[in-house]
A and B are shown apart, each in its own frame.
Chain A
């Protein structure tokens, strides 16, 4: 499906699926064959052993996201789909990053750790491994600052998100 690059927006989509082999491939395959770009994807079990939750960040426009949601509902393994509105939801991702940290650099790094409420997971003579959680902007900002020290290695989880408030994810298939 063609999407004009000018209209691309970021959408966070939560999907409840049957916890069974192959389900991730079904969902990911649907995204790729319908021409959606997955920016990040995170999957894990939920409080119900038989249900997993996938959070996908995808680029598109409103019409395409509507189409995507309806296509997701056609998958037998998909139970519920929710497009999360940024203002009405909380999202987090986690970053582990190993940066160069000679003795002279450590103090500056520790100040950054404080400001960003990061955690130091490991220190050696030459490097520090940090953990940072936050939304996309915060992680990007932290990475920007760490670049000055020299990033040796990094890994980030996909975004996970929940809607704010008392409501829980539900769906009404008929509209």
Chain B
């Protein structure tokens, strides 16, 4: 059938099984919004107050559900407002397809109204991007975009569609099944995809020597340690990872992105590794003699001082992205491939080991956090997790994020939605909204945020209020940009340059302005009761927790220091 470009785009989204998109209309996407209007029975569009948060929402949707998120924005400022969410998704390997309109091709390059070279601008922060120059290429481009976003190591893909391409008509043939997989998949390596069937057989043959050597490293190790990253979740390799830990009798530490892949209450789990890692995790890292790193990229925040990192260990690195091998940490052996496939193949070659003493030693380093304070972040997080153990939690960036990573026990993958790599303040509300929208059962999502971060995105309260999206906003209000203040305290002689937030808004009045319940709490009883009530109600609301300005995130390792040399306990 003959359709215009805008209609073809919408048909292609339906082909991909897209049910919800986030976006904001404008001049250069009018034809697309016209088609969205006609197909609102098939595609639900969530209108945000700002394109940035539409981008984070699509990202949150993808992180919570594992499905590819979709965001639409207009040309020029609409598109440039997406740069931060695109970069955020890129750093954390989140599959999102960003669609932007652009001015008609006749006007391109003339500095016309709302014109921006968004494909040029986003080259460094997308897995791939497209400027679609003819309507005939559109359907294939959209299919490729979805394929690239979700395959291998996932990531954001941007498709920029000039307005004339949206209007031009061409023959559209719906695709199903295998037709949805574009020809370009043939170019990609076996290791970068999850091979099956005949491809898996070929992969096995190639990987065999490395699998054998890996099994040998595990057989020879006395103190093996598993380092679990976000790649484990992306690959769905949680069960295989635990099975390997059991077989090798190894404790496990996690990167920020890996939290939840192994339940926090599992006996092998030593917790978060890195700058704000647990004693047990960081010290085990320096004592182990074999590090099995799965789906991690060895971020500087996890490594501390790279040269002294895991200095007593041989390093076995399993990752789907060959470019992560030997990038930040030199490996003894690497296996490139999908974590689930590799771990599955490796398991059959590893025999049962027993390292009772090492396990005991690792577990004995786990410290219970104790505090005399009556109302403080760790107690709040503990109480929240007791009320709603499996609840999806989104965060912004700063102290509250690290406290959440340390003290909210994550029990399942995709439970924590946080901006790890880019560290985007203002990520949280959009991401929480997207995560909530991805849940077919409509369960509430908690947004744990700080007063600093929340001021960057609070305009989206209108969105969660209008659509009644069940996001429980828990603001840790300490009246400061707490993490920056912490560094000023520790490293800049207590000179609190531009970090004190002795100004509005009054978050209770704000809640009222957006027509939602707001409660300010300053003690544990009130917090518990309010949170329970909010969780049961499942409606958007704000809970403001009044905290001390000098509260700090501990433990802490100063940047660039060895990972077991804590500057704060």
User: Hey, which bits of chain A sit against chain B, CB under 8 A?
Assistant: 21-22, 25-26, 29, 33, 63, 66-67, 70-71, 73-77, 79, 173-175
A175 to B323, CA, bound (A): 12
Q: B2 interface residue, CB < 8 Å from A?
A: no
A33–B326 CB distance below 8 A: no
Which of B120, B192, B203, B336 touches A175 (beta carbons < 8 Å)? Answer: B336
Stretch at the interface among B35-43, B122-130, B224-232, B537-545: B122-130
A22–B119 CB distance below 8 A: yes
Q: From residue B255, how far is it (CB to closest CB) to chain A in Å?
A: 20
B127–A173 CB distance below 8 A: no
Q: From residue B83, how far is it (CB to closest CB) to chain A in Å?
A: 15
Chain B positions 138-163 with a Cβ under 8 Å from a chain A Cβ: 148
Chain A residues with CB below 8 A from B131, complex form? 21-22
Interface bracket on B: 20 to 34
Chain B residues with CB below 8 A from A75, complex form? 128
A74 to B336, CA, bound (A): 13
Q: From residue B120, how far is it (CB to closest CB) to chain A in Å?
A: 7
Which of B127, B188, B203, B323 touches A71 (beta carbons < 8 Å)? Answer: B323
B123–A174 CB distance below 8 A: no
10 contacts between A and B (CB under 8 A): A22-B119, A29-B124, A33-B124, A67-B327, A74-B321, A74-B323, A79-B187, A173-B188, A173-B192, A174-B206
A33 to B87, CA, bound (A): 14
Q: B469 interface residue, CB < 8 Å from A?
A: no
Specify the chain B residue showing the minimal Cβ separation from A1: B327
B123–A25 CB distance below 8 A: yes
Chain B residues with CB below 8 A from A173, complex form? 188-192, 322
Contact flags B196-215 to A (C-beta < 8 A → 1, else 0): 00000001001100000000
Contact flags B303-323 to A (C-beta < 8 A → 1, else 0): 000000000000000000111
A88 to B321, CA, bound (A): 29
Q: From residue A55, how far is it (CB to closest CB) to chain B in Å?
A: 21
Given A79-B187, A174-B191, A175-B336: A70 in contact with B120 (beta carbons within 8 A): no
Given A76-B184, A174-B190, A175-B336: A29 in contact with B327 (beta carbons within 8 A): no
Chain A residues with CB below 8 A from B123, complex form? 22, 25-26, 29
A174–B189 CB distance below 8 A: yes
A76–B323 CB distance below 8 A: no
Chain B residues with CB below 8 A from A29, complex form? 123-124
Q: From residue B117, how far is it (CB to closest CB) to chain A in Å?
A: 10
